Structure 1
Amino acid sequence: MCARTSLNEKRILTFSALLASGFAGGGLVLGLLVGSLVIVFDGVYSLVSLLLTLLSLAVSRFIERPSKRQFPFGKSVLEPIVIAIKGSVILAIVAYSLYSAVTSLFAGGREVDVGIATLFGAVNVIGCGYAWWHITKKSKRFSSGLIEAETKQWQMDTLLSVAVTLGFIAAWLITLSPLSQYAVYADPMMMLLMSFYFIKVPFEMLRDALRELLMMKPSATICDTVDAEVSALDKQVTQNLEVAGVTKVGRELRVRLDVHAQGKQVQVAELEKTRKVLKDKLSKLSLDLNLTMNIAS
């Protein structure tokens, strides 16, 4: 990872941690005061986001420190481990919230101060939306897996806040209608619907992180880029180059090439030239290239 990406990562994670701490405290206190399951969930989610962001920040700093003895092959594997932890924890929170919503529905619903809850939701929409926009803007040029995970966290929080605000507005309208006795079901029903919707994001985070940890095939974009650059380079060198394997682990792109000498001696200088050219070509993926070249008969 380049120095600018590393610095950008630390700045974004620090900004995210500070903002999440404010939302966590406000959500938990207000949620308990007005008796809203949805607002409590929002506060708990913000608190967990804060803890996970601090974990990401600590790992980001740790990855930058040299440690060849303990990690002879680098620390890139720590990044998908952190993302897997994030996905697992968020998935557990959503699952528990789903259970709480179902329990509340069967228990007769929940009374909520709709006015205060709606105001809180509107403030949350503005704050979370700004965080999502700010992090997305700052990560356009220099990004990483940890930053992408942070963006998804704030995306979920923003959409959650929008859903909460719209839900409480709907609940307030119900209280003004002949169906006012059903307003107590608005809060758990919102939680139920949001749980089904939001369970997709942490599931995808966990799935993608596990794919990296198991060194499975990366995204089609990465594979197509590597294949295209190797095919173009194959026409410029005397040896035949063939992609034997591609995988992505955290911020590291691991590429294994088979070099077919066709009965000729392989020049070390040409291999080094091939390595340098390919590294320059693949730099647009914003990943650290780990290239292994095998001499094949």
Structure 2
Amino acid sequence: MRTKTREIAILRFTTFVCLFFGILGVAASQLAHSRSLLLDGLYSLIQSLFILGSGRIVSLLFTSDDQRFPFGFAAFEPFFLVIRSLTLLIMVLSIGFSAFLSLFNGGYAISVDIALPISVLSLLVCAVVYSILKREATKLNSPVLRAESKAWLLDTLLSFASMSAMVIAQIALRFSFSGLMRYIDPCLTLGFLICVIPLLTKDLVQYSKELLGAAPTSSTQTALEKIAYRFVRKYDFLKAEVFASKQGRSLNVLMYVFLKEERPLLQLDAIRLEMLKALYTYSNWCEADIIFTLDDRWVDYNTLPSLQEA
């Protein structure tokens, strides 16, 4: 439970920071007439709302199964992250479209004196928060904190893009390139979005795959197979087949162990417990079913399509 408490405390802290800079960024963007600063502020505002949801998701993951969800709440994590990625992607595309249209309408002037100090402050704070979240996500093995760290990395890059727009605009103003100054902010906004959209799309695809029960990475699959075949060799089983899916931090494993000869039930129960401990050592978010069988003909009829074909 200490892990849960630490995750929620970190999420609460980042919520307040994110909400503050979101409101500050949106307000300053209206005064400075800067879409890059507006993008930064809106991103922070939306992110703060989703961080509140992240705390609820973390609480669910540490909640015992109930009658409504007898197989637990693991799917809630990728489901939440899909919604978050989709919302951020829509927001980014909307602001990008607005910046794109402004290029054909003469651009717009920005007030550097208002926007630049806020962009610099936002850049420094976002970079610090990103570093903290990245470290804690690795330490706690938390997909939620990992997603938050990615979001803060994007927020850091957004602040950098906004600051760059202000600095270039200041240089253009000093050298009397007022006509060029009107196009700096929309061009940098669009340039940044071209880099960000693939990242958000990649996250959306990854979390969607997890939600649909896709297999884990090949390295995870290989590690699970090594665990299985360690016991195959140790107890002289015929073979083992491992099927796995990953949802957020949860790893669901189904393992068929094929016997050479009949063995006592108590012996198999003891071996199953030993195998479960090995799997849990690999991942403390592992849920596993281990099935021993001597006659494997039933395995071929374990799915509805197979039964219909028969």
TM-score (norm 2): 0.88
Q: Is the 8 A contact 2:31 2:114 kept in 1?
A: no
Alignment partner of 1:104 is 2:102: yes
Deviation at 1:103, TM superposition (A): 0.8
> In structure 2, what is the Cα distance between the partners aligned to 1:27 and 1:284?
45
Q: Which among 198, 201, 204 is matched to residue 203 of structure 1?
A: 201
Q: Which residue of 1 aligns with 2:268?
A: 271
Q: Structure 2 counterpart of 1:219, which letter?
A: T
Moved over 3 A (4+): 266-287
CA RMSD of aligned residues (A): 1.8
Query: Relative to structure 1, is the Cα distance of residues 234 and 178 closer, same or farther in structure 2, using a 3 angstrom cutoff?
Result: same
> In structure 1, what is the Cα distance between the partners aligned to 2:47 and 2:290?
41
Aligned length: 294
> In structure 1, what is the Cα distance between the partners aligned to 2:139 and 2:237?
35
Deviation at 1:285, TM superposition (A): 4.9
- Identical pairs, percent: 24
Alignment partner of 1:290 is 2:296: no
Task: Give unmatched runs, 5+ long, in structure 1.
Answer: none
> In structure 1, what is the Cα distance between the partners aligned to 2:86 and 2:27?
25
> In structure 1, what is the Cα distance between the partners aligned to 2:263 and 2:177?
82
Q: Is the 8 A contact 2:259 2:292 kept in 1?
A: yes
Which structure is richer in relative contact order (CA contacts within 8 A, separation 6 or more)? 1
> In structure 2, what is the Cα distance between the partners aligned to 1:10 and 1:44?
23
Q: Is the 8 A contact 1:38 1:164 kept in 2?
A: yes
Q: Which among 119, 122, 126 is matched to residue 120 of structure 2?
A: 122
> In structure 1, what is the Cα distance between the partners aligned to 2:272 and 2:209?
26
Q: Which residue of 1 aligns with 2:222?
A: 224
TM-score (norm 1): 0.92
Moved more, 35-44 or 251-260: 251-260
Deviation at 1:27, TM superposition (A): 0.5
> In structure 2, what is the Cα distance between the partners aligned to 1:9 and 1:241?
40
1:11-56 per-position Cα deviation (integer Å, ceiling 9, x unaligned):
2211111111111111111111111111111111101001111111
Task: Give unmatched runs, 5+ long, in structure 2.
Answer: 296-310
> In structure 2, what is the Cα distance between the partners aligned to 1:202 and 1:285?
30
Q: Structure 1 counterpart of 2:23, which letter?
A: G
Task: Answer with 1 or 2: which has the greater Rg.
Answer: 2
Q: Which residue of 1 aligns with 2:304?
A: none
Q: Which residue of 2 aligns with 1:168?
A: 166
Q: Which residue of 1 aligns with 2:211?
A: 213
Q: Structure 1 counterpart of 2:286, which letter?
A: L
Deviation at 1:286, TM superposition (A): 4.0
Q: Which among 234, 237, 253 is matched to residue 236 of structure 1?
A: 234
